[in-house]
Amino acid sequence: MTKDEVVKALVEQVVAMGFKVRLMTLDAGFYTVDVLNFVSQFKYVIAVPVGDVKVYQEFDGEYETNSKRHRKDEQVKFRLLVYSKEKVRRKKRTLVYFARATNLNLPKGEVLDLYNKVRGPIETSYRNIKAFLPFTSSTKFVFRTLIFVLAIVLYSLYTVFKGEVRREQFRLLLILLFSDDLFYLRDFLLKSVEPLINNIDLFSRR
């Protein structure tokens, strides 16, 4: 699936559940002309790779994409916000620039705060989920998807018990519970959740 197809599918699922899309926030991985064309029907804020727009200064104004894969009439105009943060690298202070694409008619600071408010918890949760990912060198998409789903389940369990135990204690408990299967994790997972794998495999071929 292309990136715009992924976004469309997710929006369709949300709408099918009876929800209304009030705001879309996407990370820089979804910054494409096709995605921008689709999300323009909603209110949105999308992270933009600064290297793509090549604006290395504080900026708040109109910007038009210049994708070589699309014709001139297919390019998208949007409001581009560029801001900087001071970071210390090797005891030297440098300015690092970040960019956002949006169609919101709000002050620059409010747009940036809104993006951080929505994306912040998502990024934090993703980092926490990754802490429960078992290591694998497998390149099989279905298996890697499966262990990520497993990590989500384990993280969800941890959130239930985190008032009682710390994360490292919880992970140690999991190791003790599944110690007999750790060396055969791939076979253990594949055999125990084979129906789920088949469903994921079918979905990935759509």
Q: Which pLDDT does position 143 carry in this prediction?
A: 76
- The 8-class DSSP code of residue 29 comes to G
* pLDDT tens-digit series, residues 159-173: 777 767 776 676 666
Residues 6+ apart with CB under 8 A from 66: 75
Mean pLDDT value of segment 105-121: 91
Mean pLDDT value of segment 133-151: 77
Q: Which pLDDT does position 187 carry in this prediction?
A: 57
Identify the weakest region by mean pLDDT among 6-10, 46-50, 185-189: 185-189
Write phi, then psi, for 24 (nearest 5 degrees). -115, 130
- Classified as helix, coil or strand, 73 is helix
Mean pLDDT value of segment 27-52: 93
Separation between Cα atoms, residue 134 and residue 147, nearest integer Å: 7
Residues 6+ apart with CB under 8 A from 143: 136, 186, 189, 190, 197
**pTM exceeds 0.95 for this model:** no
Mean pLDDT value of segment 46-58: 92
Identify the weakest region by mean pLDDT among 21-25, 35-39, 129-133, 149-153: 129-133
Alpha-carbon separation of residue 53 from 43, 57, 59, 63, 128 (angstroms): 21, 11, 11, 8, 31
C-alpha triplet 144, 150, 156: angle, nearest 5° = 140
Arithmetic mean of pLDDT over the chain: 81
Separation between Cα atoms, residue 185 and residue 151, nearest integer Å: 13
